């Protein structure tokens, strides 16, 4: 056979082989997984379809791609439990409001479930507010009133923990939050009334530090009226010591969300006086020593930068 012909055949075979190698390398490159960020996982994971819609609307996808983050990600059921059942419900919020809500779910560092310490820990969020992590003695983990239901979804830039409730960011400290609630005007007046005689209470409620965290069972205006304070003038003319003792009786140490309130008693800031808690699957009630009936929590789990508020329908009597 002609040697020139053989050389030509070998050259063609070599070219075909090189082409096949290059094609194989290209196909191999196409199948190499690109490291998945928090944003990528939210986009791809069907349990987060509502979070995906909120992320796109609030334009925080780039934030979620940042390095060293932990996202406590509300799944679709969490959004639905908060009344946000469709993307239209999400866009009923302003972009800035939804952005603030989503950034309240993010910590500026990679936090695995194993590194969360036992007990309660206040943590600063990327949204520049305070949330409260709590790991119970049986290993359950909560952030505020939400429970981790799928922990340690590892991604390239940190962790995702799926949670069963949408977190609502705090809007200030305890005092500011009470003052801004239109149903707590009598309580606001009472706090101001006793502030001069007991500055410690006022300092506790207005404290911006996480070193003094408390829970306030806040009687609404209807509760004060039922207790005999017919108007704000009655609050402003009440005996200061009696009013001071009454308010201290509504405050307990620590940030106690509904998931932490169990049947039993709580020690209040009024020395030697305790509250009785009855917790069932459907309701939590709080009873004072001299109340004929227990108070019901009407609006619970309101986080603040230095504690939590539960609005109740009775003034508690020590």
Look up residue 55 and give its two tokens.
Answer: 């992320």
pLDDT tens digits, 198-208? 899 999 999 88
Least confident of 18-27, 187-196, 201-210, 219-228: 18-27
pLDDT at 261 over 80: yes
Rounded CA-CA distance 312/191 in Å is 16
The b-or-e profile of 116-133 (16+ CB within 10 A means b, else e) is: beeebebbebbbebbbbb
Q: Could you tell me the pTM of the whole model?
A: 0.85
SS3 107: strand
Least confident of 11-15, 50-54, 103-107: 11-15
pLDDT at 281 over 90: no
- pLDDT tier, 282 (very low <50, low <70, confident <90, very high otherwise): confident
pLDDT at 149 over 60: yes
pLDDT at 277 over 60: yes
Domains of the chain with CATH codes: 38-163 (2.30.180.10), 174-312 (2.30.180.10)
Supply φ then ψ for residue 284, to 5 degrees.
-125, 130
What's the farthest any 2 CA atoms get from each other in the chain?
Answer: 120
Least confident of 2-11, 66-75, 249-258: 2-11
Beta partners for residue 150, in sequence order = 162
Across 116-122, average pLDDT: 95
Across 215-239, average pLDDT: 97
Chain mean position to CA 110: 17
- pLDDT tier, 248 (very low <50, low <70, confident <90, very high otherwise): very high
- pLDDT tier, 16 (very low <50, low <70, confident <90, very high otherwise): very low
Across 249-270, average pLDDT: 96
Q: Which residues contact 160 (CB under 8 A, 6 or more apart)?
A: 38, 41, 42, 70, 71, 73, 153
pLDDT of residue 30: 42
Q: Where are the alpha helices (DSSP H) in the chain?
A: 3-31, 38-44, 49-58, 61-64, 76-81, 87-91, 95-103, 174-179, 185-195, 199-206, 221-226, 232-236, 240-248
pLDDT tens digits, 17-69? 333 433 343 343 443 346 799 999 999 999 999 999 999 999 999 999 988 99
Say if strands 146-155 and 284-287 run parallel, antiparallel, or are unpaired. unpaired
Least confident of 20-34, 77-91, 272-286: 20-34
Rounded CA-CA distance 156/35 in Å is 6
pLDDT of residue 288: 98
């Amino acid at each position: 056979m002609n040697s020139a012909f053989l050389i030509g055949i070998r050259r063609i075979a070599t070219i075909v082989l090189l082409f096949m190698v290059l094609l194989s390398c290209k196909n191999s490159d196409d199948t190499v997984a690109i490291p998945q960020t928090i944003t990528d996982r939210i986009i791809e994971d069907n349990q987060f379809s509502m979070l995906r819609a909120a992320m796109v609307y609030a334009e925080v996808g780039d934030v979620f791609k940042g390095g060293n983050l932990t996202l406590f990600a509300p799944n679709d059921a969490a959004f639905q439990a908060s009344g946000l059942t469709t993307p239209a419900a999400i866009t009923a919020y302003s972009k800035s409001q939804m952005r603030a809500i989503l950034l309240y779910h993010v910590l500026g560092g990679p936090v695995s479930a194993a590194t969360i310490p036992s007990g309660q820990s206040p943590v600063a969020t990327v949204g520049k507010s305070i949330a409260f992590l709590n790991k119970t003695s049986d290993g359950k983990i909560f952030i505020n009133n939400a429970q981790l239901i799928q922990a340690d979804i590892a991604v390239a830039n940190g962790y995702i923990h799926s949670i069963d409730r949408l977190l609502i960011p705090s809007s200030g400290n305890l005092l500011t939050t009470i003052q801004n609630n239109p149903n707590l005007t009598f309580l606001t007046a009472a706090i101001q009334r006793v502030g001069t005689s007991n500055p410690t209470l006022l300092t506790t409620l207005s404290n911006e530090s996480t070193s003094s965290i408390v829970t306030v069972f806040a009687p609404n205006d209807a509760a004060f009226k039922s207790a005999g304070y017919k108007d704000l003038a009655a609050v402003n003319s009440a005996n200061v010591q009696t009013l001071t003792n009454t308010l201290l009786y509504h405050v307990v140490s620590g940030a106690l969300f509904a998931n932490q309130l169990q049947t039993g008693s709580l020690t209040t800031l009024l020395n030697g006086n305790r509250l009785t808690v009855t917790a069932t699957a459907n309701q939590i009630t709080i009873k004072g020593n001299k109340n004929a009936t227990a108070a019901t929590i009407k609006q619970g789990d309101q986080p603040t930068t230095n504690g939590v508020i539960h609005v109740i329908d009775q003034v508690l009597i020590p």
